[in-house]
Amino acid sequence: MRELSYRKSGVRFSAELRPNPAAQCSGRELVSIDRATYAAWERFVTGEALPPSTIESPVLDSWRRSRDAGVNPVGRAAPVAARGDDMELLRRRHRELMAAASNLFAHTGDLLAGSHSIMLLTSPEGVVLDAAGDAATLDAARDIHLMTGGNWCEAVVGTNGIGTAIATRCPAQIHGAEHFCEGIQGWTCAAAPIFEPGTQDILGVLDISGPPQTFQRNNLLLAVSVARQIEMALSHSALGERLRLLEHCMNRLSLADAAGMVAIDRQGRLIHSAGRVPLPVGVGERLPGFRPHADLEEWAAHLPEGLRPEWLHPVVAGGRTVGAVVLVPGRGVRNSPVARLAEQSSEADPRRSCFDNILGRSPAMREATDLGRRLATKRVPVLVEGETGVGKELFARALHGGEHLGGPFITYNCGAASKELIAADLFGHVRGAFTGATNDGRPGRFELANGGTLCLDEIGEMPLDLQPVLLRALEEGIVYRLGDTQPRRVDVRLIAMTNRNLREEVAAGRFRRDLYYRIGVTRLRIPPLRERDGDIPLLASHFCTQLAERHGVPRREFGPEVLDALQAYCWPGNVRELRNVVESLLLMDSTPQVRVDELPEEILASVPQAARPAAEGAEPECPSLEAAERRAIQKAVINFQGNLAQAARLLGISRSTLYRKVERYALEDFVRAAGGNLEGEGGAGD
């Protein structure tokens, strides 16, 4: 045995170098790993010079990247990146890729049975999403975490087919001792990246793996062929969605009423443009700043110059959002159908940036808006405090909109990402700053908000070790992109939002005292709905009118008994919960008058027993089983403001089962309208 010694992040690392386990196996169990390659690997990891032409250049380059990334060469397995619910969420995030590969993987088990080979599909980061093939090999692969959830990124597990294909953007075949980690040298793999049609972004990897005796050069050709089939399936699906988007545009919108129209697919790509609309890209290209599947509000913040956020509208077909359309109203046609559609309120409507449009006549609300108006003209940090769903971002937008200086309004949720991603998102990065960094680098939210307002939601969730970096950026007005030494000066007004008591967080040591004083120069508390005496009837009527117009359904009336019940309830979800209840009442019944017995159970619990409607003699209509199940899911989603985990517990089913039923009944948009997030935890944000 030899001692392995090398440097990892400037620290000397030593470990016992065990003999190659694969080299000790023989016969049908495992083919002996090429001794020359293993000898070269030993020399490389112990720092000895390699004879010329000993190892092929692509493998040697990957070894060097692995060493530079600090990968342990005596590692025995890949790390596991996701399990349980996290794995389910990851698979949902890449559901289109999995759907495109589903037919192939459905037949792979039978085709590869007895072959000692398995086929795997991974995310663009190298995390395994699906695996199929020979049962015994699938079981053996678990020892090295070559299974769903295993992370095979080259930077964490070294040279391997999946990670090296991602790193090089080319098909890769890695055999035996060519793997950088000793523990996985008893395997052979061939992998091909799967590219997004039209953009050539990597969507994932198709890999074929097995013990060394399964090595064949043709495995790489097979992996490439299957990857291309998946790309064709994705292209076919995307084409169908674009056709539905265009059909929607042509059927419902008349260019005679508009000066221009732009259609954008779910990937943020331009698919159609008509009229005089100046655009920085051509058809088929992604608009700058448009992340695939991003929220509409994020797209609205990156519209090309001359296009207004309120002109951007989502297009839903077949129960799912297939893209968006930008309608440019023509002059002199402000009363046309297109102009009225463009004037409808949207999540990105800048008209919300005005205190006059914040509804509320209660003393508590008037006090908050009066203070907000005074703070709007002062370019100082504001800490907006309030419970979940009170409308903190509405006030933040009004604070920004009240400034005559104008400038961009950039929002960021500090509780929605990992520490590393928060740093990259806020401060930006340069090319090659970290694995997964964009080729050209990217500005952070501070740079995007230069000259305007940066709104940090859930500031109390900011990781403790990032808080001094944020404080320094606020104090000095200078940011450094990750991987860069060049200072970039920014002029940003900060509005921070939280539903936590930051004073208690400071006392508990979870939030820095100096940062608290810096962001809380001025504070604005938004009252919860239970403190807004008399505002509930006003808000219910407003939401009823607004949502009826949005969904194209008749407006319903709230009688005195229903309003009494609404006002008796404590509203833990505040205004957002009220809006969701009103939306549910509109969508789940079409009678002109809302009945008390339609209200959710938790609201009925607040109504005195004597005030509840007495049971009538007539038997109620018995719905179908599917209709009853659909209605139960809707009620549960509304009750928990879109939180699918809590809704699943109430229904007595697993969260993955609830996800499938939401898809089955095409309730995705209903969940989003209730405040849920199908890409992550379904809780309502602020």
pLDDT of residue 250: 65
Mean pLDDT within 280-304:
76
**How far is the first Cα of the chain from the last one, in angstroms, to the nearest whole number?**
59
Mean pLDDT within 569-575:
90
**Computed from CA positions of residues 654, 655, 660, 662, in that sequence, does the dihedral angle turn out positive or negative?**
positive
The top-scoring range by mean pLDDT among 28-32, 143-147, 627-631 is 143-147
Q: What is the mean pLDDT of the chain?
A: 80
pLDDT of residue 527: 94
| Lowest mean per-residue pLDDT among 162-166, 365-369, 422-426 | 422-426
The tens digit of pLDDT for each residue in 661-671 reads 888 877 777 77
In degrees rounded to 5, what are phi and psi of residue 92? -70, -35
Higher per-residue confidence, 354 vs 32: 354
Q: How many other C-beta atoms lie within 10 A of the C-beta of residue 514?
A: 12
pLDDT of residue 295: 64
| Lowest mean per-residue pLDDT among 230-239, 303-312, 491-500 | 303-312
Mean pLDDT within 619-638:
67
Contacts of 231 by beta carbon, 8 Å cutoff, 6+ apart: 100, 194, 195, 197
DSSP 419-452: HHHHHHHHH-B-TTSSTT--TT-B--HHHHTTTS
Between CA 317 and CA 476 the distance in angstroms is: 48
Mean pLDDT within 361-384:
91
Tokens of 447: 């740079």
Residue 333's pLDDT band (boundaries 50, 70, 90)? Answer: very low
Mean pLDDT within 588-612:
79
| Lowest mean per-residue pLDDT among 93-107, 238-252, 270-284 | 238-252
How many Cα atoms sit within 13 Å of 605 on the Cβ side? Answer: 6
pLDDT of residue 271: 80
pTM: 0.46
Mean pLDDT within 392-405:
76
Residues facing residue 594 across a β-bridge: 558
Mean pLDDT within 498-527:
94
Tokens of 237: 């699906």
Single out the residue of 144, 165, 182, 150 nearest to residue 59, CA to CA.
165
Beta strands in 343-477 (DSSP E): 382-385, 409-413, 453-457
Contacts of 430 by beta carbon, 8 Å cutoff, 6+ apart: 437, 441, 481, 482, 483, 484
Between CA 296 and CA 553 the distance in angstroms is: 23
| pLDDT surpasses 70 at 9 | no
In degrees rounded to 5, what are phi and psi of residue 364? -65, -40
Residue 20's pLDDT band (boundaries 50, 70, 90)? Answer: very low
Residue 5's pLDDT band (boundaries 50, 70, 90)? Answer: very low
pLDDT of residue 587: 86
Q: Are 524 and 395 in contact (CB under 8 A)?
A: yes
Between CA 528 and CA 388 the distance in angstroms is: 9
